[in-house]
Amino acid sequence: MSEPSASPPAARPAVLVVSKLPAFYLEPLQQHFTVYERLHETDPAAFARVAPGIRAITGGGESKVAAALMDQLPALTMISIMGVGYDGVDVAAAMARGVPVTHTPDVLNDEVADLAIGLMLSLARRIPQADRYVRANAWAEKGPMPLARKMSGARLGIVGLGRIGKAVAVRAQAFGMSIAYTGRHQQEQLAFDYHPTPKALAAAVDFLVVITPGGAATRHLIDREVLAALGARGFLINVARGSVVDEEALVEALQQGVIAGAGLDVFENEPQVPAALRALDNVVLTPHMASATHETRQAMADLALNNLRAHFAGERLLSPVPECR
């Protein structure tokens, strides 16, 4: 009697990639799944042919996953985002179809908090300006730079005291800073001062760090009134989403001396940054790099991949977004 033939290997689930992924995520993704890289953008006809079999979507934190895209994917069962932010995903539409959404929180807390502190120090001590001063030989030609501001012992306000906000607070306490915060509700277990609105918080602090989620609910949360309350000696630091700050109002506030300066890692229309903002000397600008270290981006990629693998293995998801828990 002949040996029974072996069962054919199961087809690998098809995954649509909706943003440019680093090789350290894309390559292992291709080892475990059939991957279509931005086919919906590059070849609509080919995408239409494979769309009925696509079972998952993945991309970075900047990814746009609209209901209209999901509607083209009848077999869609999961969305995995490599980023803590997922405001580009229509989570309500996904939930209506029973499609879970995951992201990659916690693994980037330290890096984002580190950059927030770095921006604060850079603003107060004018470190980027000092670097340019030395490179231009102005120290030798003009003498010492004007005096800067002290950060240690200053008052810090945090808009959004979640995991990353708490990591910022821990670091700021090492600088002897007093901590206050605002958020959707007061966290009774914390000894920090609570203010019910961003405007009230801004009026009580020297540095205002924004680390709240993006999306419609927080769009332009930091507006002209908040900036006016922060005042002429106050600094704004945004490591959240560009949409949280009214960028036009911020430029005006910086130009007119309404606030002292700003440290920005995110912008409303990335990667486009207004020329008026780039021309200012009282700002420090970084290119959405808060989590951009080898170690952290690798951890984010691993978590995004493992969420996909857990889903298709029928296991519990590692890090679903709050709406899907």
Backbone angles phi, psi at 241, to 5 degrees: -135, 145
Nearest to 62 by CA among 268, 307, 246, 217: 268
Describe the crossing of helices 163-174 and 109-125 by its angle, rounded to 10 degrees.
50
CB within 8 Å of 71: residues ≥ 6 apart: none
132 is a catalytic site residue:
no
297 is a catalytic site residue:
no
- The catalytic position among 241, 247, 297, 311 is 241
Backbone angles phi, psi at 270, to 5 degrees: -60, 145
Nearest to 179 by CA among 199, 207, 137, 198: 207
Residue type, 51: A
Nearest to 60 by CA among 92, 83, 80: 83
Q: Is there a contact between 142 and 158 (Cβ–Cβ < 8 Å)? A: no
- The catalytic position among 270, 295, 315, 323 is 270
C-alpha to C-alpha distance for 97 and 71, rounded to whole angstroms: 10
233 is a catalytic site residue:
no
C-alpha to C-alpha distance for 31 and 102, rounded to whole angstroms: 20
Here the tokens at position 177 are 């800073």
- The catalytic position among 12, 155, 220, 288 is 288
C-alpha to C-alpha distance for 237 and 115, rounded to whole angstroms: 10
Q: Burial of 77 by CB count in 10 Å (0-12 exposed, 13-18 middle, 19+ buried)?
A: middle
Q: Would you name the residues annotated as active-site residues? A: 241, 270, 288
